[in-house]
Amino acid sequence: MRQKSPTPPYLILTFFRWFCDPRMAEDIEGDLLERFEIRLTTKGQFRAKLLFIKDVLLLFRPSMIRSFQGQQKLNYYDMFKHNITITFRSFLRQKSSFIINLIGLSSGLTCVLLILLWVNDELKTDRFHENSDQLHYIMSNHTDASGTRTWKGTPGLLLEEIEAQIPEIELATAYTDTHEFTISTKSETPISLKVEGKFASDHFLSVYSYPLVRGNASSVLANNSEAVITKALAEKLFSNEDAIGKTIEWHFGGNKKAFTISGILENIPSHSSEQFELLLPWNFYHDELITFKQWGNYYARIATVLQANANPQLVTEKVDTIFKNNLEDTNVDLFLTPYSSLYLYGEYENGIQAGGRIEYVRLISFIALLILFIACINFINLATAKASQRMKEIGVKKSMGASKRSLAYQFLTESILICLIALGISGLLTLLLLPGFNQITEKEIALQFDLTLVLSVVGLVTLVGIVAGSYPALYLSKMEALSILKGFKLAKSSGGIGRKVLVIFQFTLSTILIVSVMVVYQQMQLIQNQNLGYNRDNLIYFEREGKLTDQSDAFINEIKNITGVENAAISGFMVGGLNSTGGVAWEGKTEKDQIQFWEYNVGANSIDLLGVEFISGRDFSEEFATDQDVVIFNETAIKAMGMDDPIGKSIVHYTGNKKIVGVVKDFAIGSLHQDVEPAIFLNRPASANLIMVKIDGTSTARTLQEIESAYAEFNPEFPFKPAFVDQDYQALYSSEQRIASLSKYAAALAIIISCLGLFGLTAFTTEKRIKEISIRKVLGSGIWRIVFLLTKQFSALVAIGILIALPFSYWAANRWLNDFAVKISLSWWFFALAGIATLVIAWLTVFGQTFKAARLNPANNLRNE
């Protein structure tokens, strides 16, 4: 074995090569090495190396350093020009793969662009408030035996206490969720509208940054008879007149009150998660309107602005202490959370922030990147597959002295250029698709060019260009000039394996997406058809206003006569529940039994109308005079209270002693994400603010029209605006629906792009094997045999892809389904179907090509040579 002689320090030598003027580099390097070798024998290895380093360092002086300008710059420019020319020529020469790449990359980029806009929009939501960093929201954790539930509600009484007692709180405001109210004006042409409004305390407009066009933010809501409306609403109500000082009449249920307009808001930006048109004074709501002003009722939303240096944790403790001083023996904890994070991280699990919309943001971004990656794979595959056609070019260039690096640059130029063209196309596509996209996502995204967006797009395109181009660049540039020009083909295995892996990967991703679409679709179907414990079909409701508050019985009797109306009743049932209370006591209740009940104020026969089944007992009825003092619970509530024979027993509600007359089967309070929770029905028609009507659904439009005309007779000054319970229910799943439709498009896109790539590859391989096919035909092989032969290889790849995809998709589907209380069972045929679908699509893609190749006349292909 020959012993390798010591070499000079490599790093130092590289350094020398880097800095030294290329005109002198060779001979000086030679000198350096010669001296090193001499010193090795005379002075030993260590000293030789040390002296070598010294020599090199002493050579590092201005006269030795290469120039960085001049000739070389010109050369770069020329090479760049040359590369672009070559790129366009190769595009022209390989039209099919150019077009496949272009379609793939531009649809991938369009997808990413749209998602980028969407993500950008999501991230901006609720972050426009000036106080954003100090803005904290008070939330409540309700703990009982079954766990902790987190709500946005807090007792309204808290506001004054925290303002007075906690110095770290600079500003605080209490307000309600947005509710639909009727507003009318008493001008010559009276207008009456349904508007989205909320009650808000005087600091609301200082805490949040909803700018006023007119009026002073700190005083507009201070007076109990003054209201603020948005510019758009002002235009609707008063057209071009000045709205300030004008009077509007507000109606809600049986209440009405005149308000003077004291301020006009800019229209609420779409980046606000709160959307409203009307603000009414909180004090009016708190002091005059509601009856449940207690520390145990969580009817208010409270937001605070902390001092810049305040510690939110400390403030949380102070708030919670104040709360507990006022309400002893509570199982509720209050805490502060940053307002800006609520939109994306609004979900809580056992009192701990557990994601929310951000998961969908991540998921969708991930899918978009996957699609783009699939398109990149096409580029890589086609470029390496077509390498043989460009070998002569590479060989000639290499023998003319092109370095590996300059060839790599050439291929990178090619891929970045095609990405830029694709970017242009996808820009146009994005513009075209944006309206449709906005519809699916329910957003108002416009293509605005701000710096971050432009930078991220340019960065993305460069990145895609490099990712897509790097493999071909490295692969093609490393080939040996000599062997290429001598006519050796590329070794068959090299590149082939990489290509196969990439095809497998593409189809793995496609299959995962197909399975996801199927699972999401099935689950949504299940949810649509799920028995919720009440019958939501053909159930409409509308607000009790004006005369409907005191003459509702007459109205109900009248509409019951309309053909198509099956039943009608006063109700307070809302999908998702309205209020919840802990103010229920029963015999045997201990301190630990802190149960929150969903509270429904309803009228007679309304539970029957809903189609909720009774386990025992009966519905509220007008036939019993004593029925204002009875309640009905659901099964879960009875179980939670631990009652054995509930009918006839008494409980203490915060409105008085009540007797239990009925127990109903559990029904879904809100979406099927939630488990069933305890619920209590109270017979309080006066507080139930809806009229619910069951129609038979045979001619909905006509029935609605007749109800409307009956309504107009009773309430001419109020607009009739019925809502459908099943639509409310659907709305609970809007984000899932959105995911369902987006993932449908994503899966379709992924499989199309994958198939395009497969198409390109098959076209290429069949072309390469055309002589083999011809010879086989001459020797007697049939068409189908040849088709089979050509399809076999791809089928194997696709099948492997599918096999890899199945466990992944099973895992992903399971994880997604875990969020639902009711879920489909994942049966094997889902996966089988998805796999077969992928395989069949792949076959169809390949079939045209292989069939054509198999049918060619062998004589044409074998004639020459």
Partner 1 sequence: MGKHHLGEFEEVVMLTVAILHGEAYGVSIIEEIENRLKRSVSMGSLQTVLKRLEDKGYLASELGEATSVRGGKRKRFFTVTNLGKEILKATKDQRMSLWSAIPDFA
Query: Tokens at residue 780, please?
Result: 């007697």
500 makes contact with partner 1 (CB under 8 A) = no
Assess contact for 429 and 106: CB atoms under 8 A: yes
60 makes contact with partner 1 (CB under 8 A) = yes
Q: What does the DSSP 8-state code read for residue 288? A: I
Region near partner 1 per CB under 8 A, out of 20-28, 97-105, 320-328, 769-777: 20-28
What Å distances lie between residue 544 and 253, 494, 536, 549, CA to CA?
5, 77, 20, 6
Residue (17 or 852) nearer to partner 1, CB: 17
Residue (52 or 633) nearer to partner 1, CB: 52
- Please report, as a single letter, which amino acid is at residue 452: T
- Residue that is written with structure tokens 């109800």 in the block: 707
22 makes contact with partner 1 (CB under 8 A) = no
- Please report, as a single letter, which amino acid is at residue 696: D
CA distance 205 to 272: 14
Q: What does the DSSP 8-state code read for residue 270? A: T
28 makes contact with partner 1 (CB under 8 A) = yes
CA distance 252 to 257: 9
Residue (35 or 404) nearer to partner 1, CB: 35
65 makes contact with partner 1 (CB under 8 A) = no
444 makes contact with partner 1 (CB under 8 A) = no
CA distance 811 to 823: 15
119 makes contact with partner 1 (CB under 8 A) = no
Among 24, 258, 447, 458, binds partner 1 (CB under 8 A): 24
Phi, psi of 602 (to 5 degrees): -135, 170
- Give DSSP secondary structure letters for 295-351: TTB--BEEEEEE-TT--HHHHHHHHHHHHHHHS-S--EEEEEEEHHHHTTS--EETT
Residue (59 or 421) nearer to partner 1, CB: 59
Residue (36 or 733) nearer to partner 1, CB: 36
Residue (3 or 818) nearer to partner 1, CB: 3
Region near partner 1 per CB under 8 A, out of 19-27, 313-321, 512-520, 582-590: 19-27
Residue (5 or 590) nearer to partner 1, CB: 5
Residue (63 or 864) nearer to partner 1, CB: 63
648 makes contact with partner 1 (CB under 8 A) = no
> CB within 8 A of 815, min separation 6: which ones?
none
Size of the site for partner 1 (CB under 8 A): 22
Region near partner 1 per CB under 8 A, out of 53-61, 319-327, 457-465, 681-689: 53-61
18 makes contact with partner 1 (CB under 8 A) = no
Among 17, 22, 30, 99, binds partner 1 (CB under 8 A): 30
Are β-strands 539-543 and 723-724 bridged in parallel, bridged antiparallel, or unpaired?
A: antiparallel
Q: What is the smallest separation between the CB atom of 46 and partner 1, expressed in angstroms?
A: 19
Residues in the chain: 865
Q: What is the smallest separation between the CB atom of 71 and partner 1, expressed in angstroms?
A: 18
58 makes contact with partner 1 (CB under 8 A) = yes
- What would the x/- binding string for partner 1 be over residues 32 to 51, using CB under 8 A? xxxx-xx-------------
> CB within 8 A of 552, min separation 6: which ones?
544, 570, 685, 691
Phi, psi of 262 (to 5 degrees): -110, -10
Q: What is the smallest separation between the CB atom of 69 and partner 1, expressed in angstroms?
A: 19
11 makes contact with partner 1 (CB under 8 A) = no
Region near partner 1 per CB under 8 A, out of 61-69, 285-293, 355-363, 658-666: 61-69
Q: Please report how the helices 357-385 and 451-477 are oriented relative to each other, as an axis angle in degrees rounded to 10.
A: 30
241 makes contact with partner 1 (CB under 8 A) = no
CA atoms within 13 A on the CB side of 33: 13
Query: Tokens at residue 721, please?
Result: 């605006």
Residue (32 or 228) nearer to partner 1, CB: 32
446 makes contact with partner 1 (CB under 8 A) = no
53 makes contact with partner 1 (CB under 8 A) = no
As a whole number of Å, the end-to-end CA separation of the chain is 50
Among 50, 53, 64, 466, binds partner 1 (CB under 8 A): 64
61 makes contact with partner 1 (CB under 8 A) = yes
27 makes contact with partner 1 (CB under 8 A) = yes
Among 40, 55, 719, 761, binds partner 1 (CB under 8 A): 55
CA distance 565 to 258: 35
Number of H helices and E strands in the chain, helices first, is 27, 26
Question: Residue 356 pairs with which residues in a beta bridge?
Answer: none
User: Can you give the three-state secondary structure of 383-438, one letter per residue?
Assistant: HHHHHHHHHHHHHHHHHCCCCHHHHHHHHHHHHHHHHHHHHHHHHHHHHHHHHHHH
Binding site for partner 1 (CB under 8 A): 24, 26-35, 37-38, 54-55, 57-61, 63-64
